[in-house]
Chain A
Amino acid sequence: MKILNDIAHSFRLLIINCSLLIKRSVFLVFVQKEFYHIFRDKRTMLILLGMPVVQLILFGFAITNEVKNAKIVVFDSSNDDATRRIARQLDASQYFSVVRYVKSQQELKQVFQDGNISMAVVFDERFNENLLHTGKAQLQLLTDATDPNTATQLVQYASSIIGDYQQELMEQNKVPYQIQPEVKLLYNPQMKAAYNFVPGVLGMILMLICAMMTSIAIVREKELGTMEILLVSPMKPIYIILAKAIPYLTLSSINLVTVLLLSIFVLNVPVAGSLFWLFLVSLLFILVSLSIGLLVSTLVNSQMAAMLVSVLAMMMPVILLSGMIYPIENMPPVLQWASNIVPARWYISAVKGLMIKGVGIAAVGKEVTVLCVMVVLLITVSMKKFKIRLE
C-alpha cells in the first residue's frame, strides 16, 4: 500500500510540475541549453544520428543468417540423368551454388575440413536406377553444423528443392495421389533476417540513446561541477532532469523515423500494422529508457561509470536476452526468467506484433502493460533517489 501511495504521490508531483514548467520560460531556456550542448558536440551528434543507419545496414545486409549462394559440393557416385538434374536444380536456385564435384570420400572430407563449404550432396550409387525401379533412392545431405541455424536452413532448402524434383518426376510418370510435405513459413516466407533485426535494432538504438545519453548528460554536470551551481539555485531539481530528457526524447524520435524509413524503403520490411500504435508503443519504450538513464545518473558520479553501467547493465542484456539474436524459447529457464526484466524484450515482441505480423494493439496488451509498469516503477525509484545535495 505504501508503495502505491508513493507512486501516486510521485506522479501527482510530476504532473503538477509539468504543467507548471510549461508556463515558465526558465524551463525552455534550460532545454535550449541542452540542445546547444548536443548540436555543438558534432562528433557525438553524428554518432547519435548516424548509428541507427549504420546498425540497420550492418544487421540488414552484412551480419545476416540468410542463406544466399551457399557453396556446396556434389559427390555423385552414380552420375546419371536424375542426379545431374538434381544438382543442376540446386545450382540454379538462389540459395546454393555448386562449386565443385568430388570423386571420393577422402576428397569430400578434405573439402569440408578446408572450411569453405556449407553443404555436400552425396548421391547413392545407381541413384536413377533405384529410383525408377524400386521407387526409392537415397541421397545424403552433409552440412557444417558448427552454425546450427544455417545448417538447418540449408537442409530445409535442399530438401524442398529435391522434393520439387520428385514431384516433377511423379507428374511425368502419371502416378497420382502423391502427397508431398509442405513447409510454409509464416510472416517471413523468405526467412529474411531483416524482419527479425528491425525490431531488435529499434530496441537497441532507443535504449542506447535514451538511457546512455541521458545518464551521461546528467552525470557530466556533476563531473564539471555545474551541478553544484544548479543545485544552489531556485531551479527545482526535477526541472534539471526533465530538461535533460527532452532533447534525447526528440533525438530518439528522429531515430525512430529514420529506422522505420530505412526498413521500409531499403530493407523492404513493410509496416503491416498500425503506424500510430507503433509510434505510441515506441514512445512508451523511450520513456522506459529515459527513466533507466535517470536512475543510472543517480547512482554514479562519472561519465565513464555512467557509460560502463549503461553498456554492461543495459546493452548486453538488450542484445543477448531480448530475443533479438537468440530466441528466448531456446534459453535455459533461468535466462528466460531473467529476460522478463529486460524492457527491450517486451518492446521487441510488441514491435514484431505491430509491425511485422500486423496485429492490433489488443494482441500486444501484455507487452504494453509490462512496459507501463516499468515506467512507473523506474520513475518513482529514480525520483526518490535523486539527490538534492552533493551526498
Chain B
Amino acid sequence: MLHLSESHSESSAEGLRPIVHCLSIDKSYGQVKALQNVSFDVAPGELFGIIGPDGAGKTTLFRILTTLLLPVSGSATVDGFDVVKDFKAIRKRVGYMPGRFSLYQDLTVEENLNFFASVFNTTIEENYDLIKDIYQQIEPFKMRRAGALSGGMKQKLALSCALIHRPSVLFLDEPTTGVDPVSRKEFWEMLKKLKQEGITMLVSTPYMDEASLCDRIALINKGQILKIDTPANIVNQFEKTLWTVQSKDMHRLLHDLRANPLVDSCFAFGDTHHITINNGQLTIDNLATYLSDKGHEEIIIHPAKATVEDCFMEMLR
C-alpha cells in the first residue's frame, strides 16, 4: 500500500534523484514507537506535505531529517547528505522552521532577521529578492519587538528567517498551527511563490484542508505512513458513496446516523456530517424518511465528493 500509486502520480518527477530520501526510518522514545518503517522520497522543487493528527510523529520525522535526532534504524539523506554522518553539511544547506515560534521575542523584527542572516554567513541584501514578498509585509513593523507581533506576522518573520540563506530544502513543521484562517491562506500562497523559486519544501500540518495545496502528500498516523500520493489521486481512489447530512439537532443526528446499520461510517465535519453508505442498499430518500421518523427537522442530504480528510478517516478504520 505504501508506494501503491507512486508510479502514476503526476509530479514525482521520475528519473530525478530525490532531494530528500527516507528509507525505513524507525524511532522510539523508550517504549513509545514514534516512527515505524517510514520511507518516502521527495523530488527537487516539490511541495511535499506530511499530513497527520497531533502525535502522529511529524515533528520527530522533521527533527531526524534536520539532524536534530538520530533514527534508531533506517537511513535518510537530504540534498545527497546522510543525516547522521554528514550532519554538518546538512545544517549549512537546509532551512528549518520549528512548530513553535522560535525567534527572539526581545529582539526587533529587523534584529532577528539580521541575526539569522549572520548565523548563516549571509546578509539580508544578498537574498533579499527571495524574501522580499514576505518581508515587505512586516517591514513597516521592523522596529517592533518580535514578541509584540500578531500570530500571522510572527509566521512571516519566522519564514523570512528560515529562508534568509536560500536553503535547498525548507522544513516547515506545522507552520499554520494556531494561525488565523486568513493568515493561513496567505501563508500557503507564499509557499506557492517559493515553489516557483525552485525551493523544495516539506510541510507538516494537522489540517487536512491544506493537503490539497501540496504537490504530493504522505498521510501519517501513529508513526506509520498510510499513503503517499498526489491529493487528487488520493481523493479519486475513494470508492465509497459519500453524503453530507445536516439537520437541526446535529448532535443527536450523529448518534442516529451511527445507529443506522446501513450507514457504514459517520463523522462530524464542521457544520455537516459525512457518511459513507454500504453499497447501494440505501437511497437519499430512504435516509430522509428514517431521520424524520426519528424526529429530525430541516434535514438536508447531498451526495458529496470525498476530501483528503474523508480518505484519511476511511484509512484509519
* Residues of chain A at the chain B interface (Cβ within 8 Å): 25-26, 29-30, 33, 36-37, 40-41, 224-226, 228-235, 388-391
**CA separation between A267 and B72, bound complex, in Å?**
62
Contacts of B121 in A (CB 8 A): 26, 234
B102 and A224 form a contact (CB under 8 A): yes
Instruction: Report the separation of the CA atoms of residues A26 and B118 in the bound assembly, to the nearest whole angstrom.
Output: 5
Query: B179 on the interface (CB 8 Å rule)?
Result: no
For the complex, what is the distance from the CA of A389 to the CA of B96, rounded to whole Å?
14
Q: Would you give 6 A-B contacts (Cβ < 8 Å), ordered by A?
A: A25-B118, A26-B121, A225-B100, A226-B104, A228-B63, A233-B119
Which A residues touch B114, using CB under 8 A?
Answer: 29
Evaluate whether A390 and B115 lie within 8 angstroms (CB atoms) in the complex, with A33-B104, A232-B68 already known. Answer: no
Please, how many angstroms separate the alpha-carbon atoms of A225 and B103 in the complex?
A: 8
In the complex, what residue of chain B is closest to A389 when comparing beta carbons?
B68
Chain A residue with Cβ nearest B29: A391
* Top-8 shortest CB links A-B: A225-B102, A29-B118, A232-B96, A234-B92, A390-B68, A40-B106, A225-B100, A232-B66
Q: Report the interface size for chain B: residues with CB under 8 A from the other chain.
A: 31
The answer, yes or no, to whether B40 is at the interface (CB within 8 Å) is no
Chain A interface, DSSP helix/strand/loop, else mixed:
helix
**Within residues 216 to 235 of chain B, which ones have a CB less than 8 A from any CB in chain A?**
none
Q: Is the CB of A390 within 8 A of B103?
A: no
Chain A CB within 8 A of B91 CB: yes
Q: Are the C-beta atoms of B119 and A390 separated by less than 8 Å?
A: no
Q: Which single member of A25, A226, A234 contacts B102 (CB below 8 Å)? A: A226
**B243 lies within 8 A of chain A by Cβ:** no
CB distance from A40 to the nearest CB of B (A): 5
Given contacts A37-B104, A224-B102, A225-B98, contact A26 B70 (CB under 8 A): no
Residues of B close to A391: CB separation below 8 A:
69-70
Contacts of A234 in B (CB 8 A): 88, 91-92, 119-121
B107 at the interface (CB under 8 A from A): yes
Q: Does B106 contact A41, Cβ atoms closer than 8 Å?
A: yes
- Tell me the nearest residue of chain B to A220, going by C-beta: B104
Taking CB atoms, residues of chain A closer than 8 Å to B162 are: 229
The answer for the CA separation of A230 and B107 in the assembled complex, in Å, is 16
- Please name all residues of chain A whose beta carbon is closer than 8 Å to the beta carbon of B120 when the two chains form the complex: 233-234
Known: A41-B106, A231-B68. 18 other contacts (CB 8 A): A25-B118, A26-B118, A29-B119, A33-B111, A33-B115, A36-B111, A37-B106, A225-B100, A228-B68, A229-B98, A229-B102, A233-B91, A234-B91, A234-B119, A235-B119, A389-B67, A390-B63, A390-B68
